[in-house]
């Protein structure tokens, strides 16, 4: 099961997968050939993978609630133990879901399964603040599943089970929300647009849905393609869409 995908500026594609037949992190070229891999024994429930502006590879674990930072070759550089785990972890989904990089280099982590808040850390892994709580009102969440930050410092949070994308400033102050994009699983910023992977609300995970390009200023849909199994979305420099479907094979839209 490929949970997430990301592509770096050199065109190397990184997969984060769940299963015992390959390492959790796999680096591929554009032809799909494996370049190298790593991470065996380091994860319980791999969830999201992101590439920072310096080209380092970051991952989240939804069971241990740990965030790991690696070089592109797989050397571990840092570990953030988010903590706050419940005593009982249903199905190994109880911790962090995603992370994003602010213009000032800070790391924002969505702690979305058993908790309902966003955490901010300095580049060297020191906690700055956290905010958010369970609920349906502004600044409240029901499963934060993905997070992204644009160049102006606006934070976008996929509040999945509330069927909306909420927006905040870097201090966590509520700016507004869009509720017409239904059940959003993942977000990514590219070329001034916000791209989302979504499906209808109140449908099982993996149901047919859409990959959408969104105007981050207005929330208007600029374009979309139909897709199934929309878990982790990525956009290549040339505008190609990549989707990690969860169960099933990764998909590439040219």
Return per-residue pLDDT of the chain as tens, 254 residues.
999 999 999 999 999 999 888 999 999 999 999 999 999 999 999 999 999 999 999 999 999 999 999 999 999 999 999 999 999 998 999 999 999 999 999 999 999 999 999 999 999 999 999 999 999 999 999 999 999 999 999 999 999 999 999 999 999 999 999 998 899 999 999 999 999 999 999 899 999 999 999 999 999 999 999 999 899 999 998 889 999 988 888 999 98
Domains within the chain, CATH numbers bracketed: 2-253 (2.120.10.30)
Q: CA triplet 61, 53, 155: central angle to 5 degrees?
A: 65
Please tell me the predicted confidence (pLDDT) of residue 249.
Answer: 85
* Per-residue CA distances from 41 to 22, 136, 144, 190 (Å): 11, 37, 26, 32
| Residue 117 bridge partners (DSSP) | 111
Neighbour-count burial for 102-123, b at 16+ CB within 10 Å, e otherwise: beeebbbbbbbbbbbbbbbbee
DSSP β-bridge partners for residue 193: 190
- Rounded to two decimals, what is the model's pTM? 0.97
Token pair listed for 104: 């000032």
Q: Which two tokens stand for residue 62?
A: 């939804």
Query: What is the distance of C-alpha 179 from the center of its chain?
Result: 19
Structural contact between residues 17 and 46, judged by C-beta atoms closer than 8 angstroms? yes
CA distances from 95 to 11, 74, 199 (A): 30, 23, 23
What are φ and ψ of residue 46, in 5° steps? -55, 140
Residue 48, CB-side half-sphere exposure with 13 Å CA sphere: 31
C-alpha dihedral sign at 215, 218, 219, 221 = negative
């Amino acid at each position: 099961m490929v949970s997430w995908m990301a592509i770096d500026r050199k065109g190397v594609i990184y997969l984060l997968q769940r299963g015992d037949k390959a390492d959790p992190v796999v680096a591929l070229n554009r032809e799909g050939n494996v370049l190298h891999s790593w991470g065996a024994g380091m994860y319980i429930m791999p969830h999201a993978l992101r590439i920072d502006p310096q080209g380092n590879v970051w991952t989240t674990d939804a069971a241990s609630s740990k965030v790991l930072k690696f070089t592109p070759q797989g050397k571990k550089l840092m570990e953030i133990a988010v903590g706050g785990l419940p005593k009982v972890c249903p199905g190994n989904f109880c911790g962090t879901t995603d992370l994003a990089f602010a213009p000032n280099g800070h790391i924002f982590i969505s702690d979305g399964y058993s908790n309902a808040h966003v955490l901010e850390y300095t580049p060297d892994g020191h906690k700055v603040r956290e905010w958010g709580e369970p609920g349906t009102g502004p600044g409240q969440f029901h499963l934060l599943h993905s997070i992204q930050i644009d160049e102006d410092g606006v934070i976008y949070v996929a509040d999945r089970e509330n069927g909306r994308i909420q927006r905040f400033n870097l201090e966590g102050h509520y700016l507004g929300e869009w509720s017409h994009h239904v059940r959003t699983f993942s977000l990514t910023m590219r070329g001034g647009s916000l791209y989302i992977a979504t499906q209808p609300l109140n449908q099982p995970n993996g149901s047919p849905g859409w990959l959408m390009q969104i105007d981050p200023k207005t929330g208007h849909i600029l374009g979309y393609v139909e897709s199934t199994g929309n878990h982790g979305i990525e956009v290549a420099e040339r505008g190609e869409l990549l989707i990690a479907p969860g169960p099933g094979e990764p998909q590439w839209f040219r």
